[in-house]
Structure 1
C-alpha cells in the first residue's frame, strides 16, 4: 500500500515566510536599537568626562592627573601625583591604548583617571589608573592634542564607522578631518588625521577613534 506524501500548501508557506520575516525584522531592529544606545552612551562619555575634569579643577584648582598635591590629599589608596605645571605633560602620546592596561601607568593622563575616581567624579577602583571602557568595548583617553586639534582632548576608541559618524554629526560637523570632533581609523597614530574630504565608512570593518577638544 502506497502513501501519498502531502506537501505544504501555498498558505502554509506564506505563513512561514511571514514568521521568518518578522523574526528577521525584529533582530535587525534590535541590533539598530543597540547601536543607537551605544551612540548615546559614547556621546554622554564626552560630556560626562568634560564635566568631571572641570569639576575637579573647580574644587581643587588643579588639573586631574597633573595635581601635584594628590599624593598628600589621598594616601589610602596612595594617589600618584603630577608635576603641577597645568598640563598633561605625558599625555601627548601616539596610542589611544596607553592607559588601557598597567603599561605607562605613570603618565599624567593615566593618573588623571585615578584622581577623578578618588575625588568621586568618575566611578571605579580608586587605586586604578587604567582608563575606563566605552560601550563599544574601546577605551577613553584624555591627552594634550590629537588628530590635529590642540589643547586638552578626549578620545574614544573601538568605534564602528556608523557610531563614529553619528557621534561626529551629533557633536560637530560629521567630517572626520575638520572641526572640534575628529576621527581616524588609525588608533595608534593620534598625531595624524584623515583628509578633510574623507568620510566615515559604515560598510567596512574599519574601527575608529574619535577625539573631541574640551
Structure 2
C-alpha cells in the first residue's frame, strides 16, 4: 500500500529575512528614484528662470525696450502683427513691466490694462524667438494658463513676472527692488498659499544656486504674507528656512534684473 506524505514545507526564517531585505531594497530604490527626480526637476525649474533672464537681456540688446513694455511690438515683432487672436499687444513704453510696484501675491488678469504687460512679457519674448514656452496664437483668456499664456515649470506650477520697487512688506521702501519672476502653483491667484516647494526643498535650491537665505540674494522664498522677520510657514526668520518640514509651504521669487527699467 502506498503511504501518503502529508508533510508540508514552509519558508525558513532565513528565506523570509532575505525576502524582506529584497523588498526593503526595492522600496528604498523607488524612494531614492523619486527623490532624485524631484531634485532634478527642482533644479530644472530654476535653470529655466536663468534662460528667461538671458532672453530678457537679449531682447533689450536687440530692441532697446523691455519685453512686455515695448510700445511698438505689433510693428516690430512680426508674430505680434500677424497674431490672429490679438493676444500679442503693445506695452505703454514707460520702461516698467506692469506697474512700478506690484503686490507679490497678485497674478494679473491678462487683459487688465497696465497689468497686461506682465503677460505680454512672455508674448514679446516668444514673438522675438527668444523662448519657446507659450502658445502665442491662443486667444487671451480671462485668466492665465500654464503653457499657453505663461511658461510652465518642469516640476509643478509656472512663472509670472513682477516689477518690485521696494514697498513689498516694507513701508519704508527698503524691500526688494528689480524685475522678478515668481514661481507659483496656480496660474491665477490673488492670495497666499500658492506654494510649490517645501521649506526643506526651498532651502536646498537656494543653497545650491545662491546664498541659502530666504530674504536675500537672487533666490528668495515666501510663505504667508507675514512680516519680513516673522515665521511665515516657509521661513523661520529673515535668515533661516523653517527646519525639517516637507509639505509645500513656499513660493519662490527669482531676481532677473537689478533694475526694473532698461
Distance 1:169 1:103, change over 3 A: farther
Counterpart for residue 211 of structure 2: 173
Counterpart for residue 212 of structure 1: 254
**8 Å Cα contact 1:159/1:209 also seen in 2:** yes
Counterpart for residue 118 of structure 2: 109
CA distance in 1, matches of 2:131, 2:227: 27
CA distance in 1, matches of 2:91, 2:216: 32
Please give the residue correspondences for 1:1-214 in structure 2 after superposition, counting only pairs within 5 Å: 3-73=6-76, 74-77=80-83, 78=86, 79-90=88-99, 92-94=101-103, 98=107, 104=112, 107-123=116-132, 124-128=134-138, 130-145=149-164, 148-157=175-184, 158-186=196-224, 189=225, 195-214=237-256
Q: CA RMSD in A?
A: 2.8
Per-residue deviation, 1:92: 4.0
Specify every segment of 5 or more residues in structure 2 that has no aligned partner in the other structure, as ranges: 141-148, 170-174, 185-195, 230-234, 257-262
Q: 3-state DSSP class of the match of 1:170? A: helix
Question: How many residues align structurally?
Answer: 211
TM-score, normalised via structure 2 length? 0.70
Per-residue deviation, 1:144: 0.7
**8 Å Cα contact 1:104/1:110 also seen in 2:** no
Per-residue deviation, 1:156: 1.4
TM-score, normalised via structure 1 length? 0.84
CA distance in 1, matches of 2:154, 2:226: 21
CA distance in 1, matches of 2:227, 2:52: 21
**8 Å Cα contact 1:143/1:153 also seen in 2:** yes
Specify every segment of 5 or more residues in structure 1 that has no aligned partner in the other structure, as ranges: none
CA distance in 2, matches of 1:139, 1:103: 19
Distance 1:91 1:141, change over 3 A: farther
Per-residue deviation, 1:175: 1.4
**8 Å Cα contact 1:91/1:107 also seen in 2:** no
Distance 1:190 1:213, change over 3 A: farther
Summarize deviations over 1:158-211 as a string: whole Å, max 9, x none: 22333322221122211112233210123xx59968531431455242331111
- Structure 1 ranges of 4+ moved more than 6 A: 190-193
